[in-house]
Chain A
Amino acid sequence: MNVQPSQTVKGKDRYKSGVMEYRKMGYWEPDYEPKDTDVIACFRVTPQDGVDPIEASAAVAGESSTATWTVVWTDRLTATEKYRAKCYRVDPVPGTEGQYFAYIAYDLDLFEPGSISNLTASIIGNVFGFKPLKALRLEDMRLPLAYVKTFQGPATGIVVERERLDKFGRPLLGATVKPKLGLSGRNYGRVVYEALKGGLDFTKDDENINSQPFMHWRERFLYCMEAVAKAEAATGEIKGTYLNVTAATMEDMYERAEFAKELGSCIVMIDLVIGYTAIQSMAKWARRNDMILHLHRAGHSTYTRQKAHGVSFRVIAKWMRLAGVDHIHAGTVVGKLEGDPATTRGYYDICREDFNPMRLEHGVFFDQPWASLNKLMPVASGGIHAGQMHQLLDLLGEDVVLQFGGGTIGHPAGIAAGATANRVALEAMIFARNAGRDYVNEGPTILAEAARSCTPLRQALDVWGDVTFNYASTDQLDFVPTPSVAG
């Protein structure tokens, strides 16, 4: 698109009372070169019909930083040029009429150190409801090294989690207890025991298992820990169950987390809906108490799934790595929930790498340094089963928790058999990969071979072997492999 030069009004005219276009107030600076310490955001802007995209993008910069709808003289009491966010680049979205990628730089002083709430209050505060925009989506952010360093990061991290669990060289295995609702504590613990004894490393509370009439939280915790201890004795392996401590208030959550610790649990769990401040509080608590912190991304699809409006999950993943959780659900590609392979790969890289290079083909818009912050273990959950093991390993790698809920509990020969089927399939696939076999293409053969000495796996393959969820993704990437020069 035509690059409009800066139209910033200088001198005393800039602060004359009245309404002025955002691009004239200094929020459009095409010559600006972002500093290493700037926070940078990339928004997908859809202006209302007739609104100039540059003006719309400048308005986003203004509304997410210093501006209000009219000129205010009190700006002149501040170093306003520094605090103004600067939109420095606007590109049309390839192949999509009426949408634009706007790049906006924010000075580091705009943000409180170590506070996701403060960061998000600026970047996704008022601006998403701004009338001149039809829709607005935060696609990605570059968090400068200087800001990353002000965060704790994952309380435990992938490496230490593995050391504590004494489990290396393969994905971890989990299952969410089903049915989600209605089991009594005693019945619930049965599922946990069977699954762990059968070969899983973890079981998991679902996001809406808190403290309900059918099972109060203490019942669940007590029976679950009986199950964990018994499974550890039966296998000689360390086991865990994510006890969901999500509750109405921080006080309640701390009480539940403390009780989980007293009972000897190695892991607790929270839901994304508790909010960023509560998440950071729990991350600090987890670090203080040697606890792994699992985050269920409950609610995220309300704002991550639609392409034109909301916040991309890759940004949520970045915030959560800063905030300090140890596990985060990040998609399965092959399962029942949203996510195409390239975009999901981008999420996984954000969780697990120490440096993310810009990779538009994975939806990663910026180089992102992580300053040796711990790595965040992605969790793949929802509609996956043992017959997909080769694809899961290929797409998601080794440092991931594979959660087979239905794929464990729905096994025709019982929960323990379901767990064994998954574990055997996984170990056989890892072995084959390490031994140099073409495991992606030979996957079904490798599984069939392993099933010869493992009846539960044979049964699992018979029941689910052909189940797939092939639907078009609603959030595919917009990029052209060789970026065209913006004319």
Chain B
Amino acid sequence: MNDAARDTAAPTVSLAAEYAASGVGPVLQQLDDELVGLAPVKQRIREIAALLLVDRVRAKFGLASEPPTLHMSFTGNPGTGKTTVARRMAEILFKLGYVRRGHLVAVTRDDLVGQYIGHTAPKTKEVLKKAMGGVLFIDEAYYLYRQENERDYGQESIEILLQVMENNRDDLVVILAGYADKMDQFFRSNPGFRSRVAHHIDFPDYTDANLLEIGEKMLAGLSYRLSESARAALTQYIPARRAQPLFANARSIRNALDRARLRQANRLFSEGDQALTLERLTTIEEADIRASRVFGQSPGA
């Protein structure tokens, strides 16, 4: 509390000043800028940040406040931005003083659960030690629990995690992530997790328009652009890809564009006698997109 505030009879605190001092604003802005769409997610993150900021201000007034439970679950299909948002969440929590370091440790079952007896506890603890002071992000967390096998080593990892989530609430925040339906099932079978997770955020699939924008952003970041006809091709590609199995939102677009860049390079080689202009080096042409197997399998799309 600053001196001015202490001197007045009825202390006042400017929420705007607190907000500015925390440095959270730029992180939220960055989240807005780097992630296309995801409006409901961004809204939830803002709400959480506001809640935590107000909690902090309340503490300055000496109002009773339990240290908030901050563990979260992020549900949604692959490629919907969960890891990126988790990384920004870690920064926000750090700026607001709810974690000490603000780094993110992302793991899956393989990092936590061992292959033989006595292997799991050290592995889980190793991960927890590295995550201390930051955010532990467990992707596809439900694989920790195997209903069909009650002697699965995952159970041991779950018990250690629950203990640390309860006892070390000041030391780290755990984010469990995965498909919504499987996560629901997981929480039903593990009430210990359900009761310790305070914030559930659902990540919707990207719209086709979102994905096109994401694709163009990715390319711009690598100094490429789509020609007019290539852009049209990609617009057709997106719904076609969505209809196929193993669709992973932004990740599928990234993979498609990686392959398109490969084809572009090959094409430039085969046209070797032409002068290489900057224009040609940076442009993805329609053919680079159209050669995808996605079109081959559903030619009309």
Complex: A in contact with B (CB within 8 Å): no
A residues in contact (CB < 8 Å) with B: none
> Which residues of B line the A interface, CB within 8 A?
none
